[in-house]
Amino acid sequence: MSITKIEKTLRLEHQNLRAIVPQRKTIDAQDYNVEDFKPSGNNLLDEWRIKRLSEYLTYKFPMWKRTGLKSISLPNVLPYKGLESLDIDGLNLLESLDFEGADRKFVLLADVFSSSGDYVTVKDDTTLIVNDITQYDNMLIDVRSGELNLVRIVEKPFFVGNLRVKVRKGAKFNLYNLYLGSKDDSLLISNVFIDVEDNSKTVVKDFYFGGKINAGYVSVRISGENAYADVRPYYLGSRKTIIDILYLMRFYKPNSYGNVDAKGVLSDESKVVFRGIMDIISGAKEVEAHQSNHATLVSLKAKVEAIPSLMVDENDVVASHAASSSPIDENMVFYLMSRGIPREDAQKMIVRGVFETLKDELKRYNLEGVVENALNGVLG
């Protein structure tokens, strides 16, 4: 199967059969129009943005029953910033990395109206820490060689953003996304699309905390052989936060490895919706694909919806998926109490342990306090 121009979340056709798609429910909201378009000063880019704007205006915003998204209030449009340095090579790359995202409307929104972002090409070992992210962000990265370490810190009351990354042959990419809702009514929607080539290595660590709706979409397109992709989402729910995350890996070529391992803790009346899709295309022989999610519940009112999916069109593969949720392990609590640790402290230690690996890795960037502060806010 060839790579499609727009990478869809679900493949709706199989041989001569086509799935029936339910009608998309929408929101009637005050939306932007052509008068809100802000030129970038780059004619090549603006021609592309105008096409995106035309498509954007054909959609209404989605109604998401799973998150309770029933209305949306858009902020005023800021002057354009994002991909001003785009050249013809960058434009071709951008068009090759088109995708559906959490919803097409939100992808187009950030493409057209971004007020932060950048076009980055990497040829040598590089570390980038990005925290100057605004309400709409659009970033395009071409990792041509070497290793890129990228940390993105999103702490906003309202955020819609796109990140597109091409990991070239033999290159390495390490990504940390920290999504922090700054207010109880924050809306955060992130769309990430990564395309990986032969012999490349990609590692992604995400952390979701806070806000009313904290939604993340990550798609990894494995278009090369002998590629390695390891994706590990972490989530910490409190109050009435709804964390809605979808992780997709699609394998087009043989002899590659992919893993999605999600874990987190839910307290109060928080909720996580985890959807994982491992999609192995016919011809992607000797692929190894694994997916799992485990939620620790520290409240009787916390909820988990886990929807793991395997789509396999090839016989010669290894694939698995798993999902579980449970309260704190009483055997672990008993063990710690037998060592003289009070019960409440033992429970807190176990919860903190879920995030210990992530915290240790963030020490390299002096950012372990982000996770620690979130834990302190939940556990006291």
pLDDT of residue 2: 43
Structure confidence at residue 23 (pLDDT): 85
Whole-number Å distance between alpha carbons of 111 and 98: 11
pLDDT digits (tens, 9 = 90+) for 187-218: 999 999 999 999 999 999 999 999 999 999 99
Q: Residue 271: its pLDDT value, please?
A: 97
CA–CA separation, 249 vs 270, rounded Å? 27
Q: What pLDDT, on the 0 to 100 scale, is given for residue 366?
A: 97
What three-state secondary structure class fits 336? helix
Mean model confidence pLDDT for the chain: 95
pLDDT, tens digit, for every residue of 283-340? 999 999 999 999 999 999 999 999 999 999 999 999 999 999 999 988 988 988 999 9
> Which position has the higher pLDDT, 5 or 122?
122
Residue 207 C-alpha from the chain's centroid: 10
- Nearest 5°: CA angle at 127, between 125 and 128? 140
For 92-104, the pLDDT digits (tens) are 999 999 999 999 9
| Across 41-56, average pLDDT | 97
4: pLDDT strictly greater than 70: no
How far, in Å, CA of 371 to CA of 186, rounded? 18
pLDDT in tens, 256-273: 999 999 999 999 999 999
Share of the chain above pLDDT 90, in %: 89
Contact present, 302 and 266 (Cβ < 8 Å):
yes
pLDDT grade for 3, boundaries at 50, 70 and 90: low
Least confident of 4-8, 24-28, 29-33, 275-279: 4-8
As to burial, measured by CB atoms within 10 angstroms (0-12 exposed, 13-18 middle, 19+ buried), residue 315 is exposed
pLDDT of residue 333: 87
Q: What is the pLDDT of residue 181?
A: 95
Closest CA to 153 of 379, 378, 366, 376: 366
